[in-house]
Amino acid sequence: MKFKSSVAPSVGVVLVFVAAVSFAQDVKTDYNRTANFSQHKRYSSGKVQTNDQLPGGRIRAEANHAIAAKDWSLIPSRVDADVSVNEATQNQQTLDWFDNGFGGGRRWEGFAGELEGADTNVDIYKALFVDDLFYSKTERFIGPSSSSDTPSNRADMLAHSRAAAQTTTTTTSLLTPVLPVAHPCPRFNAGSVAHNPPALFSSNGVLQVKFSYQHRFDKDGNELLCFMTPDGMEDPTLHVKPGDHLVITVTNNTPSTPAFMPPLKPPNCGNPQPTKSSINIHYHGTNTSPTCHQDNVIKTVINSGETFQYNVAFPSDEPSGLYWYHPHIHMLAEHGVQGGATGAIIVDGIEGQQPAVSGLRERVFVVRDQPVPGNPTPIGNIPSFDLTLNYIPITSPTDPNSNNFVPPVLRMQPGAVEFWRVANSTADVILDLQYVFDGVPQTIQLVAVDGVPVNSQDGTEPGSLIDVTHFTLPTASRVEFTVSAPPSSVQLAQLITMGINSGPLSIYNNPQRPLATVQLSSEEEDDGNGRKVGTFSAMSTTQKRFAGLGSAPVTAKRTLFFDEIPPTQFFMAVQGKPKHVFDPNAPPDIVATQGTVEEWTVENHTGENHGFHIHQVHFLVESQNNFEINGSEQAPADNGQYLDTIQVPFWDQNPNHPFPSVTLRIDFRGNDIGDFVFHCHILSHEDLGMMNIVRVQTTGEDLHNKASRH
Ligand SMILES: [Cu+2]
């Protein structure tokens, strides 16, 4: 049987064919995918493939919702675990699904293309199988797998959609919409010279920002998303000071789309009904409040045509460093972040905590990910996702054995020492940064991790820098460090990310690749956004939000763990509670008391890497456990620092090996009370349910609740 792609029929032919297959129309009706049908290809076998250009997360999210909402169990559990022993059966099942209807998306294309050679490359097959299996089933979820429940479900969704369209909160109606701007979401060509993103600075304690949330499609059919200011800045870096208010008025100027999940229960924040074009903004890493109009992601929904205002109060003890903002609608997080609607936040004044960076040239590098053009099979040097640096793509080779990556160019003056501030703003790509001269790793000096200057909270002032030769940067983490320009004798100086082993059950291929090539240039570069760190005048004594965390008494110890029933159900589980995919309407699995410190051990029970992130607070990393026995290395320099995101690498599946874990002190001593989330920050996993809620309440609330229960 050969499914090799050879025919690219006209749109008309495809639509006729689609109409002949009954559930294809249901897909159209329910999910407004008409535009994507023009992408269908026919294979010589006469089967049709939905070469759906939507990124994977959105489709997966739909399937996940369908499963949760309808209690379907169409996907065999743990299918990936026995692919190798039961391959013939799985092969046949997959082919049956393919024969029965639509394969679901670009991964199917890869699968079909590989099918002829599948026998000779079990690894490729296995890697693709999990995703393809899922995608093929996804289409069945969306189609009428049961003739009785689908129409009522569709009616429910349309009803939700209509209700949503009529809902206008008092808050939104009083605000003046931010008008869309022309030519949104511009992007650079490969090989461009890297400059800092545009930047906005607070004054008199406030940074006022207007954002028009917009989109467009690139030449490969991928949706690009961005926050544009009225004067045309794209996702600018937002500079604030401790104690400032960040006031963002944002209008969602993307097209209206149908509801895709049940409405959120009150209390709501904005629209109660999520749609596929909903937006909100998370202020990642900031120690701000999880209440509505601040850093609330669970209930904040801003739909097409709606305007919403944030007023985020940064605490006066916020450490200086690099944070970032990104959309955080559950099930759409991967799509929003890979679309590029993300930017840096800098709490200024780091020279007061790390005088070593006083007056240095500052570079802000926002590293994002996006689909590889043409969606080739990820293998060898062909990654699962391309990276970009400040919107300059790092193009990948088309030959898996080639090393022909094209990185951006970075111009440095000879002899310069610079301060580099790197945000891993990818959805799914773990980075392991290294600065390399002619193949030799250079020592870089760590200044801050996840927005907190290293050794600044408990150590003697000033916080001493940490020398490392590489740094593991999980998705959503930030690292800030100083580097020196290469001597003129160096032929090739690059910032690279080393390859990542994501684990035996991971679908992601993360090869080593360059992020930027340094060119010496004698000209002082001023691109209008270039900027130097402030000049040191006095040590800051007020930015010790986390001081004393290591010696504070621990009031509760908990064990949490990552678990999966791949390919669709991902869990951020709390030991002692039933594990479940994320439900925004569910009560929190952890209730903590304001003013306390807890110790959480977070285990990985799966065969792929995850990254633990908690909103609103940071944690002190006490230890990284059982990494080596499972085939991973501990992240250098993380122990003893205050992070908001940390990688927990894969369990190697050997039942004699203990699970890899991290032990963290979680700091609930701050001002922030309410419900907020902790989750895997590989966003495809978060979209599939790997998220949970913690409630921080005051002692009084705690007593009241106990009294009312008994
Ligand atoms: Cu994960």
- pLDDT for 47-90, tens place per residue? 222 323 223 333 333 433 333 333 332 222 223 333 343 444 44
Going from the C-alpha of 25 to that of each of 28, 43, 102, 208, the distances in angstroms are 5, 20, 12, 46
**Around Cβ 413, how many Cβ atoms within 10 Å?**
15
**CA 630 to centroid of ligand 1, rounded, Å:** 17
The pLDDT, as a whole number, for residue 64 is 36
**CA 570 to centroid of ligand 1, rounded, Å:** 8
Joined together, the tokens standing for residue 241 give: 């000071």
- Measure CA 222 to chain center: 17
Joined together, the tokens standing for residue 259 give: 């509801």
**CA 306 to centroid of ligand 1, rounded, Å:** 32
pLDDT, tens digit (0-9, with 9 covering 90-100), for 8-43: 333 222 222 222 222 222 222 222 222 222 222 222
**CA 691 to centroid of ligand 1, rounded, Å:** 9
Q: Which helix (H) or strand (E) holds 7?
A: strand 5-7
- Measure CA 547 to chain center: 29
pLDDT, tens digit (0-9, with 9 covering 90-100), for 331-377: 999 999 999 999 999 999 999 999 999 999 999 999 999 999 988 99
CB 445 within 8 A of CB 357: no
**CA 455 to centroid of ligand 1, rounded, Å:** 28
**CA 46 to centroid of ligand 1, rounded, Å:** 37
Joined together, the tokens standing for residue 19 give: 């109409």
pTM confidence score: 0.77
**CA 428 to centroid of ligand 1, rounded, Å:** 9
**CA 685 to centroid of ligand 1, rounded, Å:** 5
The pLDDT, as a whole number, for residue 316 is 96
Taking the C-alpha atoms of 501, 505, 508 and 514 in order, what is their torsion angle to the nearest 10 degrees? 0
The residue type found at 512 is: Q
**CA 276 to centroid of ligand 1, rounded, Å:** 22
**CA 275 to centroid of ligand 1, rounded, Å:** 24
**CA 141 to centroid of ligand 1, rounded, Å:** 23
CA–CA distance, 482 with 467 (Å, rounded to integer): 10
List of E strands, 355-512: 361-371, 385-389, 392-394, 409-412, 417-424, 431-437, 440-441, 444-449, 452-453, 466-468, 471-473, 478-484, 493-497
**Around Cβ 710, how many Cβ atoms within 10 Å?**
5
**CA 280 to centroid of ligand 1, rounded, Å:** 21
HEC per residue, 38-103: HHCEEECCCCEEECCCCCHHHHHHHHHHHHHHHCCCCCCCCHHHHCCCCHHHHHHHHHHHHHHCCE
The pair phi, psi for residue 569, each rounded to 5°, is -115, 115
The residue assigned the tokens 């940067």 is: 473
CA–CA distance, 141 with 70 (Å, rounded to integer): 10
The answer, yes or no, to whether the previous bond of 262 is cis (omega within 30 of 0) is: no
CA–CA distance, 124 with 117 (Å, rounded to integer): 9
**CA 585 to centroid of ligand 1, rounded, Å:** 22
Q: In 3-state terms, what secondary structure has residue 518?
A: strand
Q: Classify burial at 570, counting beta carbons within 10 Å of its beta carbon; exposed 0-12, middle 13-18, buried 19 or more.
A: buried
CA–CA distance, 68 with 481 (Å, rounded to integer): 44
**CA 169 to centroid of ligand 1, rounded, Å:** 35
CA-nearest of 103, 99, 98, 105 to 39 is: 105
**CA 138 to centroid of ligand 1, rounded, Å:** 20
The pLDDT, as a whole number, for residue 694 is 98
Joined together, the tokens standing for residue 179 give: 């008008």
CB 295 within 8 A of CB 675: no
The pLDDT, as a whole number, for residue 261 is 85
Which residues are 246's β-sheet partners?
207, 312
**CA 412 to centroid of ligand 1, rounded, Å:** 37
Task: Set out the domains of the chain in order of their start, with CATH numbers.
Answer: 5-154 (no CATH), 168-350 (2.60.40.420), 355-362+379-532 (2.60.40.420), 549-709 (2.60.40.420)
**CA 606 to centroid of ligand 1, rounded, Å:** 9
**Around Cβ 20, how many Cβ atoms within 10 Å?**
10
CA–CA distance, 16 with 2 (Å, rounded to integer): 23
**CA 217 to centroid of ligand 1, rounded, Å:** 28
Q: In 3-state terms, what secondary structure has residue 161?
A: helix
**CA 125 to centroid of ligand 1, rounded, Å:** 22
**CA 478 to centroid of ligand 1, rounded, Å:** 18
Per DSSP bridges, beta strands 556-565 and 597-604 are parallel
Joined together, the tokens standing for residue 205 give: 């304690």
Going from the C-alpha of 554 to that of each of 551, 588, 619, the distances in angstroms are 9, 21, 13
Q: Which residues make up the environment of ion ligand 1, defined by Cβ < 5 Å?
A: 610, 680, 682, 685
CA-nearest of 218, 216, 237, 239 to 226 is: 216
**CA 228 to centroid of ligand 1, rounded, Å:** 30
Q: Which residues of the chain have pLDDT under 70?
A: 1-173, 524-530, 700-710
CA–CA distance, 26 with 376 (Å, rounded to integer): 29
**CA 610 to centroid of ligand 1, rounded, Å:** 4
Q: Which helix (H) or strand (E) holds 664?
A: strand 661-667
The pLDDT, as a whole number, for residue 566 is 79
The pLDDT, as a whole number, for residue 238 is 98
**CA 72 to centroid of ligand 1, rounded, Å:** 23
**CA 253 to centroid of ligand 1, rounded, Å:** 31
**CA 205 to centroid of ligand 1, rounded, Å:** 37
Joined together, the tokens standing for residue 260 give: 């895709």
Joined together, the tokens standing for residue 562 give: 């990552």
Q: In 3-state terms, what secondary structure has residue 481?
A: strand
**CA 452 to centroid of ligand 1, rounded, Å:** 24
Largest Cα separation within the chain, whole Å, is 76
Going from the C-alpha of 449 to that of each of 243, 335, 417, 441, 455, the distances in angstroms are 21, 26, 19, 20, 10
CA–CA distance, 110 with 5 (Å, rounded to integer): 10
**CA 14 to centroid of ligand 1, rounded, Å:** 37
431 torsion bin: left (phi>0), alpha (psi -120 to 50), beta (else): beta
**CA 586 to centroid of ligand 1, rounded, Å:** 21
